[in-house]
A = this chain, B = another copy of it.
């Protein structure tokens, strides 16, 4: 069976993209931070440890590319920048985000349960669904006092 990294290499090759050092290092940052939702700046800062010569534009370009290849997902927590998380093929369609309206913390729940809803939506709307994005807003355990 294929590792996540093998999948990256195959996807790049399939579309004629090169496997550069920069892309490897950025990919490693996501592997090492699977629980995080990283912004381009955050990725840039982490990458610079291993590869100080990298340019911020390369980070932006790589994030776009990885998203196109479904290697990472783009998220929006309305905090002024895009955020990304690794697609491990086990988290896809399988976790939602809980955003605390008090402290801003983002946590995750490993529940999906949208199949019935998607079915109903497809019937009612003639829209062919391939993905969904669910955010819950409210108060985290610490902020409920």
Are the C-beta atoms of A125 and B107 separated by less than 8 Å? Answer: yes
Query: How many Å lie between the Cα of A135 and that of B113 in the bound state?
Result: 15
Contact with B along A74-118 (1 / 0, CB 8 A): 101010000000000000000010101100000101010110111
Are the C-beta atoms of B137 and A134 separated by less than 8 Å? Answer: no
Query: How many Å lie between the Cα of A144 and that of B118 in the bound state?
Result: 17
- Quickly give the copy total for this chain: 2
Q: Which of A133, A136, A141 has the most CB of B within 10 A?
A: A136
Residues of B within 8 A of A132 (CB): 134-137
Q: A132-B137, A134-B134, A135-B132 are in contact. Are A127 and B111 (CB under 8 A)?
A: no
Distance between A118 CB and nearest chain B CB, rounded to angstroms: 7
